């Protein structure tokens, strides 16, 4: 773990994030599939109690491997089911940090379409619903790979203010805007092969 943390040689926005944590209202930490999200989580949560939601793989052996490796440094892993979401909600109400990978494609029941780079993308409603049930602030960021293998720069900032809107459509649009803003800082480091548009609105096709 110390070797992993030592790879972070620079950070931006960390003080604002920690100030939000210290407020005691809870923080939702949003980490897109950009740069190295595991290092991002390990670094920002190294002295904090945090719960990270994840989609368990179908293979139980792989699930055990993922939870064991990602649980280093005191990070708690919770599945994206009713039990895990309940655990995350309780953590936020205790003033803790809850981490979410916001660009995972949800089920139709767990998402609504919102613009992402100008195209409708099925977007999880979980973050918006957690915001409405708590006083939590939402921060988003990533660990940017530096050139010539010089390590990582952790970048984190509060999400677009519209994410706090009680209007679900506006909140989801702001979530995707926040993700876009982060991707635009390191376009080549986003996992574009992740099929964000594989589900489309009824009667439409994505080309």
Q: Is 84 helix (H, G, I), strand (E, B) or coil?
A: helix
Average pLDDT of the chain is 91
Mean pLDDT, residues 29-56:
92
Residue 89 pLDDT > 90: yes
**Which tokens go with 23?**
């407020």
pLDDT of res. 206: 53
Phi, psi torsion values for 127, nearest 5 degrees: -60, -45
pLDDT digit string (tens) for 56-88? Answer: 767 777 757 666 666 666 688 888 889 999 999
CA distances from 169 to 86, 140, 159 (A): 23, 19, 16
> pTM, whole model, 2 decimals?
0.91
What residue ranges do the domains of the chain occupy? Answer: 2-189
pLDDT digit string (tens) for 108-123? Answer: 889 999 999 999 999 9
Confidence bin at 178 (pLDDT 50/70/90): very high
Mean pLDDT, residues 193-201:
84
Helix then strand count (H, E) for the chain reads: 7, 9
**Residue 190 near residue 52, CB atoms below 8 Å:** no
Nearest to 113 by CA among 33, 180, 30, 196: 196
pLDDT of res. 78: 87
pLDDT digit string (tens) for 143-162? Answer: 999 999 999 999 999 999 99
Helix residue ranges per DSSP H, the chain:
2-6, 14-22, 37-44, 60-70, 82-93, 126-133, 168-183
Residue 180 pLDDT > 80: yes
Instruction: Report d(CA 123, CA 128) in Å as an integer.
Output: 10
Nearest to 75 by CA among 106, 103, 39: 39
Residue 52 pLDDT > 80: yes
Mean pLDDT, residues 179-183:
98
**Residue 163 near residue 123, CB atoms below 8 Å:** no
pLDDT of res. 72: 66
pLDDT of res. 28: 98
pLDDT digit string (tens) for 16-28? Answer: 999 999 999 999 9
CB neighbour list of residue 15: distance below 8 Å, 6 or more residues apart: none
């Amino acid at each position: 773990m110390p070797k992993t943390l030592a790879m972070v040689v620079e950070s931006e926005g960390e003080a604002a994030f920690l100030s939000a944590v210290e407020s005691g209202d809870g923080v939702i930490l949003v980490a897109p599939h950009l740069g190295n999200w595991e290092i991002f989580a390990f670094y920002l949560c190294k002295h904090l109690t945090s719960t990270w939601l994840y989609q368990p793989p179908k293979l139980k052996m792989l699930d055990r491997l993922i939870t064991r490796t990602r649980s280093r440094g005191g990070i708690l892993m919770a599945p994206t089911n009713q039990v895990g979401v309940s655990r995350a909600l309780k953590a936020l109400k205790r003033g803790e940090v809850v981490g979410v990978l916001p660009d995972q494609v949800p089920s139709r029941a767990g998402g609504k379409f919102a613009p992402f780079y100008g195209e409708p993308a099925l977007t999880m409603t979980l973050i918006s619903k957690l915001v409405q049930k708590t006083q939590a602030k939402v921060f988003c960021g990533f660990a940017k790979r530096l050139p010539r293998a010089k390590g990582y720069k952790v970048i984190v900032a509060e999400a677009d203010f519209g994410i706090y809107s009680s209007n679900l459509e506006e909140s989801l649009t702001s979530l995707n805007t926040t993700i876009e803003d982060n991707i635009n800082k390191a376009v080549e480091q986003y996992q574009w092969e992740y099929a964000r548009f594989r589900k489309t609105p009824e009667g439409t096709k994505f080309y």
